[in-house]
Structure 1
Amino acid sequence: MPGMKNQFLRPNILQAFECSAVPNSKITSLYHLIICSAIYHLWRERNDRKFGGSYVSSTTLALKIKSVVLAKILKWKNGHSLMELL
């Protein structure tokens, strides 16, 4: 996300949401979707590791997050125009 380049340290979740706000509401929605999807899937992976004894690699988890985001934005009106941002 463009606003994250100005962060010197790792931002917390609230700072990530603030940095992702841009004038175009579709792009802001895309950035918020990415942040929320990453948080959700990281939480699920944490729970699967801690309580289920199973795990996936970080690459597989990143691909899962990307596929979920792609599937969601394809359902949006004019979602194909946002594909180039990913």
Structure 2
Amino acid sequence: MSNIINQSNNNVNSEALKIAFLGTPQFAVPILEKLAQSEFRPNAVFCAPDKPVGRKQILTPPTVKITAQKYNIPVWQPANSH
């Protein structure tokens, strides 16, 4: 898909698109990876904040954040998910 068609049937250059990816669950990772490797690479990723995990409450990032960092995509996380 080198071009997409908008509702008015004009060709839109994918390089001009600004794409934000919003997701946190593990199932969002394969989608983000496919987008990151395509011409529709997100310009930013928004996901839940890091949260304490386990008995020692080690602050752990969501897998989507780890994936975005792997592809050098800026990550935005709210201070609180509530």
- TM-score w.r.t. the length of structure 1 is 0.25
Q: Which has the larger radius of gyration?
A: 2
Between structures 1 and 2, the one with greater helix share:
1
Between structures 1 and 2, the one with greater strand share:
2
Which fold has the larger relative contact order, with Cα–Cα distance below 8 Å and residues 6 or more apart in sequence?
A: 2
